Amino acid sequence: MNLFDRGLQLESINENYEWDILVIGGGATGLGIAVDAATRGFKTLLLEQADFAKGTSSRSTKLVHGGVRYLAQGNIALVKEALKERGLLLQNAPHLTKNESIIIPCYSWFRGMFYTIGLKFYDWLSGKLSIGKSRLIGKKEIIERLPAIKKASLKCGVLFHDGTFDDARLALNLAQTCVENDGVVINYCKVLSLVKSRDSQIVGATFIDKETQVIYEVKAKAVINATGVFADDILKMDAPEDQPIIRPSQGIHLVLDNSFLQSKDAMMIPHTDDGRVLFAIPWYQNVIVGTTDTPLQIHSLEPRALDNEIDFVLNTAGKYLSKTPSRKDVLSVFAGLRPLAATTDSSEKTKEISRSHKVIISKSGLVSIIGGKWTTYRKMAEDTLSKIIRYKMLPFKKCVTEDLKIHGYEIAQSEIDSLSIYGSDTIGIKKLMAENASWKAPLVEGMEFTEAQVIWAVRNEMARTVEDVVARRTRILFIDARVACKVASKVAEIMMKELEKDVAWKNNQILTFQQLAKGYWLDND
C-alpha cells in the first residue's frame, strides 16, 4: 500500500488526538523539521498551504554549498557548518545531488592567487567531508573546460568543488521520508488560526483543506512556524501587534540553452559590478544563470523577476561569455524570495545580512525558525528540535538524521538517464512503462518526459494539479516554459483520468497553468 497518498494522510486527522509536533510550512525548513521529529519518534503532522516546495524551496540556485562569499565576509562558523551539511547531503541523497566542479575565471594573476588561497582554506574547513581539492589552473585548461569563456585578457582560473541538486525533488523525497517514519504530511491545507488555552498558550491550530473546504482543528504540544517569507503571517496570528521580523530578498535565475556554456563545469564570478556573485550552472540539459539580491517589501507564492534584475544577469553574463545572451534566448525565468531576518539598519544591504538561521519561541510558545538556506536544512531542523526539548516542550530524544538515507536513496549510476533523479523509485516507473507501451513514449518532442511519470506523480507523489507535475515533480516549467505550456493539455488529460475528475476540471487546469507559465518566459514575440 502506498502510504504517501493524500486521502490516507487526511484520514489521520482526528480532532481528539494530540500531536507532539505540528509543523506549518512544507518547504525545505518545515520538511527538514518534520523528518527530524518523525525519526526521533515524535508524533508529527506537517501542513502546507500549497504544494511542497511551491515557494522559495523550488527556486534556489541549485547549489549545495558552503558559501564562498560568506568566507570572504569572515563568517567562518557558518561556512564550516554548511560544508559539513553539504557533505552529509551528498552522502544521504546521491540520487538527487552531484559533485560539481566550478571554475572562477581570473583576468589577473593576483586574483588567481587570492582565490586559490581562499579556496584552499574552504577545502580545509570541509575536513573529512571534502568533495574535492581546489587548484589553480592555466588559461589553456580553462579554455578546454569552458570553451564559451571570453578569452581576451584571461590569465588563469581556480577550480573548486561544490554540490548541485534538484531542490523540488529533494523536498518531495523529504516528505516521503517523513511519512515512511510514521509522520503525516498534507499539501493544500492552509492554517487559518492558532488555538490557545485559557492561559494564552498555543495548543494547536485550525486549518482548511483547500480541496474540500472542510475546516479542521488539531491539537499539538509544539507548533512550529516554518513558513519562510510567510513567517510574519503566522506570527500575526499569535501577536497581531508585533513588528515584522522578515525582510524578503529576491533572487532571480535565467535558464539558457547549454550552448552558452558548452561545459559540464559550472562558472562562478565572485565579484560583479555591484559586488554580487554570479553563477552559470549546468542543470539538466540547460544552464542556470543567476542570481540577484533585491530587497522587497512584499511576499508572494509567485514572485516575478524585475526588468532591471533580468538586464543585470544578462549583461553580467555577457561580459564573461563569448556568446552574449539576450532576452530572446531565455527559456525560463524564475524568482525566489529569501526569508532574511529584518534589521534595524535600513542601509544594510541584503547580501551582507547573515544567512544563519534563528529559532525564536514566543511567550505563547509558538516556535518560529527564520533565515538559513537549503544546504543547512538538516542542521536547522536539529537546532529547532533541540531548542524545543531544552524548553521542556517535549522530552529528550536523540537526533538521527546525520546518517539518514533520504527516500529514493541509490548510489549514483555511471550511466545517467532521465529517470536517474527518481533513485530507487525508477523501478516503479519502469514497471508502469512495461504495463503499457504508450506510457513510455515522450509527451513532447525533444524532452524525455513520459505519461508514466505523470501517472507515477499522481499515484505515488501526491501531485494534485498540472503545475505540481510540470513544475515540481518534473522540472519542465523551470527548464523551458514554452515547452511546459505545450505539454499542459496532455498532462491534464492523464491527471483527469487518474484523479477521476471531469472535463471542466481539466480545462480549468490547462487555463490556470498556461497563465502561470507565461510568467516564466519573457515577452519577446
| 524 has pLDDT over 70 | no
User: How much is the pLDDT for 69?
Assistant: 82
Which string of DSSP letters, residue by residue, matches 419-484?
TGGGGGGHHHHHHHHHH-GGGGSEEETTEEEEHHHHHHHHHHS---SHHIIIIIIS-HHHH-HHHH
User: How much is the pLDDT for 347?
Assistant: 42
Is residue 257 within 8 A of residue 287, CB to CB? The reply is yes
Q: How many CA atoms lie within 13 A of 333 on its CB side?
A: 24
**Nearest C-alpha neighbor of 323 from the set 262, 269, 268:** 262
| 348 has pLDDT over 50 | no
The residue whose grid cell reads 526539548 is 389
The topology under which CATH files domain 25-56+168-244+356-403 is FAD/NAD(P)-binding domain (3.50.50)
* Cα 106 → chain centroid: 30
The three three-digit cell numbers of residue 244, written as one number: 515584522
200 Rama sector, left if φ>0, alpha if ψ -120 to 50, beta otherwise: left
Tell me the per-residue pLDDT of 183-205, one tens digit each, with 9 for 90 and over.
999 999 999 999 999 999 999 99
Is residue 235 within 8 A of residue 194, CB to CB? The reply is no
**In the 8-state DSSP scheme, what is residue 53?**
T
Strand (E) or helix (H) holding 207: strand 202-209
Q: Which CATH architecture has domain 97-161+247-346?
A: 2-Layer Sandwich (3.30)
**Nearest C-alpha neighbor of 454 from the set 480, 437, 472:** 472
SS3 breakdown of the chain: % helix, strand, coil, rounded to 5?
40, 25, 35
Ordered alpha helix ranges (H), 73-214: 76-92, 109-126, 139-145, 167-180
Tell me the per-residue pLDDT of 366-412, one tens digit each, with 9 for 90 and over.
999 998 899 999 999 999 999 999 999 999 999 999 999 999 999 87
The three three-digit cell numbers of residue 385, written as one number: 528540535
Average pLDDT over residues 306-314: 95
- Locate the domains of the chain by residue range: 25-56+168-244+356-403, 97-161+247-346, 420-520
Mean pLDDT of the chain: 93
Cα separation, 210 vs 225, whole angstroms: 19
User: How much is the pLDDT for 344?
Assistant: 45
| 352 has pLDDT over 50 | no
| 75 has pLDDT over 70 | yes
User: How much is the pLDDT for 345?
Assistant: 46
The topology under which CATH files domain 420-520 is Helicase, Ruva Protein; domain 3 (1.10.8)
Ordered alpha helix ranges (H), 129-280: 139-145, 167-180, 231-238
**Nearest C-alpha neighbor of 272 from the set 159, 351, 162, 330:** 351
Is residue 186 within 8 A of residue 46, CB to CB? The reply is yes
- C-alpha distance from residue 436 to each of 430, 463, 473 (Å): 10, 21, 21
Tell me the per-residue pLDDT of 253-304, one tens digit each, with 9 for 90 and over.
999 999 999 999 999 998 887 777 899 999 999 999 998 889 888 888 999 9
Cα separation, 168 vs 54, whole angstroms: 8
User: How much is the pLDDT for 349?
Assistant: 52
Q: What are phi and psi of 106, to 5 degrees?
A: -120, 135
Cα separation, 115 vs 461, whole angstroms: 43
Tell me the per-residue pLDDT of 201-257, one tens digit each, with 9 for 90 and over.
999 999 999 999 999 999 999 999 999 999 999 999 999 999 999 889 999 999 999
User: How much is the pLDDT for 139?
Assistant: 96
Task: Tell me which of 20-24, 270-274, 363-367 is least confident.
Answer: 270-274
Kindly state the percentage of the chain with pLDDT values over 70. 96
User: How much is the pLDDT for 3?
Assistant: 87
The residue whose grid cell reads 544567512 is 355
Cα separation, 246 vs 264, whole angstroms: 37
Cα separation, 143 vs 347, whole angstroms: 41
3-state secondary structure of 75: coil
